[in-house]
Structure 1
Amino acid sequence: MTNNQLSGHLTDQLGQFKNLSYLSLAQNKISGPIPSSIGDLSSLKFFDISENQLNGRIPLSIGELSSLKLFDVSENQLNGTFPPCFGQLESLETLAFESFYVKPSNNSMFGELTSTLQNSRDLIMIDLSENHFSGCVPAWIGDKLSSLVILSLRSNNFDGHIPHKICDLQFLQNLDLAQNNISGVIPKCFNNFSAMATKKKTKNEVSAPLVIDFPFYFKALLVLKGREDEYGNMLGLVTNIDLSANSLTGEIPKQIGSLVGLLSLNFSGNLLTGNIPDTIGNMEWMESLDLSMNRLNGEIPPSFSKLNFLNHFNVSYNNLTGQIPTSTQLQSFENLS
């Protein structure tokens, strides 16, 4: 019943459908709260009610859905803290508040991430973007959720440092921590992101070691080249790191150049200093590179001449000197912005 003009509230009688395994009411005009009777849907695997007008809190009865794999309530008007009951959903793969899939993105949820979420070991995607979550980025994300392919905490109020445990996510292809209050240095261990360090991508599938029950649904909104787009079938071919608009300090680690399969890198709007590492020139598949609005100095490395696929390049508002490397397409970028 996706993409209709359905309105009204979800009735408490919804819980009577004990054998229901798939429920999609996305892109309608349904309002009111999610009824607590949803916890009675013992066979439910797929729940998508994104892009509606739901409000209130996510009921704790969600924790009773032991078969649930996909939960998407993004782009509603939900509020409240992150429900600890998600830790009971050991089969969960997608969580979208915007999991696989937890997806509660673009709501008004707040508070710190509950540590019980680390029990959902099969999570491939967590999208909590555009909420009001706070606290530090939990180290257990890297320690316990080893199958993650997409981690988006964009546009929240997270602070503290980037935990080094994040580097243990060998299947991670998209890391978006932009527009938070994160400080400290960029971990040198980012070169451990194995899925970003390979050029050999012959299939569109994500690289997680799981069978996805709903492959037609696996999609994500990604901000690349300064523009937000939805990626579906091609998602497995996209690799991205976005740490923009935080308070990161120190130098860009040279180890970042090991991520030779990375297509987009955005460190703009931080407090980064030092030279631009010449190892970035090894990232020959790079299409978008944004290092603007930092405190970088020195010259643009000559090795950038190898970035033949680069079509979005911005190093404006830094303290760079010297000439643009000759015989490169960098000379076609107006004012290097």
Structure 2
Amino acid sequence: MLAMDLSNNSFSGELPISTSLGLKLQSLRLANNKFLGVFPSVIETCRDLVILDLGNNMFFGDMPSWIGKSVPSLQVLSLPSNNFSGVLPPELFQLSNLQVLDLSINFFSGEIPMAMGNHNCNSLVTLDIGNNRFSGGIPTWIGSQLPYLKVLRLRSNNFTGEIPMELSWLPQLQLIDMANNRLIGSIPVCFGNLTSMTHNPPTFLVPRPDSAPSFQIMRNGQLRVAEFPGRVNISWKGREQTFQDSIGLITGFDLSCNRLTESIPEDLTYLKGLRFLNLSRNDLSGSIPEKIGSLELLDFLDLSCNELSGTIPPSISNLRSLGVLNLSNNHLWGRIPTGDQLQTFVDPSIYGNNPGLCGFPLLNVCEPTLDQGAEVRKELRDLGLWYSVILGFVFGFWIWFGTLFFLEPWRFFFLRFIDGLGRKIDARR
């Protein structure tokens, strides 16, 4: 037997040593149980191991340094939702075949080791170290040494410094989650060059075969392909959600809860494949990009709790896929744009704490703008002209009729004229 899958049960206690004796395991999955203890030492004997999934258990302690040498074939190391701690051993990044590294929701600390960037892990597709205690700056070498990276999740740590512009060099990067850190500076303008996010795929998507990493495993003497379903936790529509089968369809940024400043780059509107954009709870200023409506696939847009000003661009009404919108707690003003999809957002809190905004769904009515005022004045002038013509005609008619009615000589003269005109007509007959 080359694979062992005990996941999604209620097993508890320490991992029995006998589970691996005499077995050349290539896949060991123990996720979603209640196993406890330190990192299982029996894994050191599994030199052919390709997939190791210990997620959602109660393992604790440091990650052993022997893992990089003892299991050289490892392609998936998934340890989320445990109690592991300590710094990452440099030996871990001797795993040159590693494609998925998921250490999220633990207590790891320290900086991202430089050893990861020494050309050893250049096959990495998913790097998820979110919800830990990592610190320091985000390494610039990620952009040059991890060319196949698709998922970069660093949220809820203690990272500081600026967002490296070198991340825009990653041609396959589709998800950037750096929320809830202490990042400063501006959003790199060059993020608009992320090629994997500039595509505008069809509305109805079928997951591509390569949406999950595939691994070759010997089974019954034959080389077969096994898939490890990629999964990632994303703060989506107000709560943490796990995306697994549909991870290949998730494209976007979550840079919320940092200390980012300056304006939102207009270049982000070139990323027509974006499905979510969360820039909330920063210190961003300036206006909302005028071409925000070009992100036609956008389903989630949160720009709340910043220092944004100006009007809401009318193009936002083009976001027909939009399911969640939050522009509250800024300095926006003017009339809220209308549109088919925008009319479905009936909750006033979406635009709350922007005293200058008016229109549906807010209760305060908009005053006419300069253009609207000019149009109204033109309509009033035209209406006044018509009233003047009508009044002039009525007034002239009554002057003429009143003169004939009240002045007897004029009335007799007019009647004699009409009578004489009638006799001339009869004479000509």
Q: Does 1:34 align with 2:46?
A: no
In structure 1, the partner of 2:244 is 232
In structure 2, the partner of 1:60 is 65
Cα pair distance change 1:149/1:206, threshold 3 Å: farther
Once the two structures are overlaid, the 10-residue window that deviates more, 46-55 or 233-242, is: 233-242
In structure 2, the partner of 1:117 is 116
In structure 2, the partner of 1:48 is 53
Q: Does 1:220 align with 2:232?
A: yes
In structure 2, the partner of 1:101 is none
CA contact (8 A) 2:75 2:99 kept: yes
How far apart, CA to CA, are the structure 2 residues paired with 1:240 and 1:9? 39
Shift of 1:42: 0.9
TM-score of the two chains, using structure 2 as the length reference: 0.73
What is the 5 A alignment of 1:285-296? 285-296=297-308
The one-letter amino acid paired with 2:141 is W
In structure 2, the partner of 1:102 is none
TM-score of the two chains, using structure 1 as the length reference: 0.93
Shift of 1:84: 1.3
Q: 1:250 aligns with which of 235, 250, 262?
A: 262
Q: Larger radius of gyration, structure 1 or 2?
A: 2
In structure 2, the partner of 1:312 is 324
CA contact (8 A) 2:99 2:213 kept: no
Q: Does 1:24 align with 2:36?
A: no
Gaps of 5+ in 2: 1-5, 216-224, 351-429
Secondary structure in structure 1 of the residue aligned to 2:86: strand
How far apart, CA to CA, are the structure 2 residues paired with 1:131 and 1:253? 29
| Percent identical | 39
Secondary structure in structure 1 of the residue aligned to 2:60: strand
How far apart, CA to CA, are the structure 2 residues paired with 1:4 and 1:210? 25
Deviation sequence 1:166-204 (CA, Å, 0-9, x none): 111111111100000011100001112111111126431
Gaps of 5+ in 1: 98-104
Once the two structures are overlaid, the 10-residue window that deviates more, 193-202 or 19-28, is: 193-202
Higher relative contact order (CA 8 A, sep 6+): 1
Q: Does 1:107 align with 2:106?
A: yes
Once the two structures are overlaid, the 10-residue window that deviates more, 153-162 or 82-91, is: 82-91
Cα pair distance change 1:203/1:331, threshold 3 Å: closer
In structure 1, the partner of 2:195 is 194
Q: 2:13 aligns with which of 8, 20, 28?
A: 8
CA contact (8 A) 2:212 2:228 kept: no
Shift of 1:277: 0.6
CA contact (8 A) 1:330 1:336 kept: no
Shift of 1:217: 2.0
More helix as a share of residues: 2
How far apart, CA to CA, are the structure 2 residues paired with 1:206 and 1:313? 32
Count of aligned residue pairs for this structure pair: 330
How far apart, CA to CA, are the structure 2 residues paired with 1:292 and 1:223? 15
In structure 2, the partner of 1:70 is 76
Shift of 1:51: 0.6
Once the two structures are overlaid, the 10-residue window that deviates more, 292-301 or 1-10, is: 1-10
How far apart, CA to CA, are the structure 2 residues paired with 1:259 and 1:265? 11
CA contact (8 A) 2:144 2:166 kept: yes
How far apart, CA to CA, are the structure 1 residues paired with 2:32 and 2:344? 42
Q: Does 1:277 align with 2:282?
A: no
CA contact (8 A) 1:290 1:314 kept: yes
Shift of 1:14: 6.1
How far apart, CA to CA, are the structure 1 residues paired with 2:19 and 2:114? 30
Please give the root-mean-square deviation of Cα atoms over the aligned residues, in Å. 1.9
Shift of 1:227: 2.3
In structure 2, the partner of 1:89 is 95
Q: Does 1:132 align with 2:137?
A: no
Shift of 1:230: 1.6
Deviation sequence 1:131-187 (CA, Å, 0-9, x none): 000000111111110101111001110010000111111111111000000111000
CA contact (8 A) 2:99 2:124 kept: yes
Shift of 1:330: 2.3
CA contact (8 A) 2:214 2:228 kept: no
